[in-house]
Amino acid sequence: MTELVLTPVLDILDLLGLAIFALSGAILAAKERQTFVTMAFFALVTGVGGGTVRDLLIDAPVFWMQDPWAASICLMSALLAWFTPTRWWEGKLLDFADGAGLTAYAVLGSAKAMSYGVPPIPAMLMGIFTGCVGGIIRDVVAGRPSIIMRPELYVTAAAASAALTVAGMLAGLDDPVVWGVAWAAGFALRGAAIRWHWALPSYREAAPK
């Protein structure tokens, strides 16, 4: 096992994913007219939820317990939501921002899992978990249907970023380039799904003969 060395690319993806997911959690609480304490809680669990599950599964130190900035970023995101009207965050803007955070965390999660010696397929799954679990926790706590239950491509975009990250690292390509391309590809897929409502076909049970 070798500790993942953060480069400027991975640093940016890390902060991007954390801030966006924390903001999405705080905004959801704001739309429900909750207190600032509740907004801060939603920001924290949404921002760090996926990474916490990943770190526990790969037997790594839980990242936000080691990083003095992680919880602070979540709190600042909650403050931003508290002092801005929720109408600022309506429409597609937050969806695109969430897509950027989703794919950034998918890259980061897969790269970290690979650095801890996790095999390729589980490492890819760790990227998906990192990108999706925080949002799932947010939706479950808020008592609303999770975004992963929508037909629109979401988990697929995280899977694309995670798969490209793992494949590029296995091939020995330059890590910052791999991470940047993997994020861009996943975000482009998620953006297209938002713009044109791309979705995978849903299950349909065959009619009885």
Decide: 114 and 123 in contact? Cβ < 8 Å: yes
Confidence of residue 6 (pLDDT cuts 50, 70, 90): low
Distance CA 10, CA 108 (A): 7
Where b means 16+ CB within 10 Å and e means fewer, 35-44 reads eeebbbbbbb
Q: At 93, which amino acid appears?
A: L
Cα distances (Å, whole numbers) of residue 196 to 49, 139, 153, 192, 199? 29, 24, 10, 6, 9
Residue 65, pLDDT > 80, answer yes
Decide: 45 and 141 in contact? Cβ < 8 Å: yes
The whole model's pTM is what?
0.90
Q: Which one of 60-64, 87-91, 118-122 scores highest in mean pLDDT?
A: 118-122
Query: Lowest mean pLDDT: which of 15-19, 109-113, 155-159, 178-182?
Result: 15-19
Residue 172 has a pLDDT of 93
Residue 43 has a pLDDT of 96
Mean pLDDT calculated for residue range 136-152: 86
Cα distances (Å, whole numbers) of residue 24 to 41, 43, 80, 157, 189? 12, 7, 11, 18, 20
Residue 3 has a pLDDT of 54
Decide: 151 and 199 in contact? Cβ < 8 Å: yes
Residue 89 has a pLDDT of 86
Residue 189, pLDDT > 90, answer yes
Task: Report domain extents, the chain.
Answer: 8-196
Confidence of residue 119 (pLDDT cuts 50, 70, 90): very high
Q: What are phi and psi of 119, to 5 degrees?
A: -60, 160
Residue 136, pLDDT > 60, answer yes
Residue 154 has a pLDDT of 93
Q: Which one of 2-16, 62-76, 88-102 scores highest in mean pLDDT?
A: 62-76
Q: Which one of 2-6, 143-147, 187-191 scores highest in mean pLDDT?
A: 187-191
Residue 206, pLDDT > 90, answer no
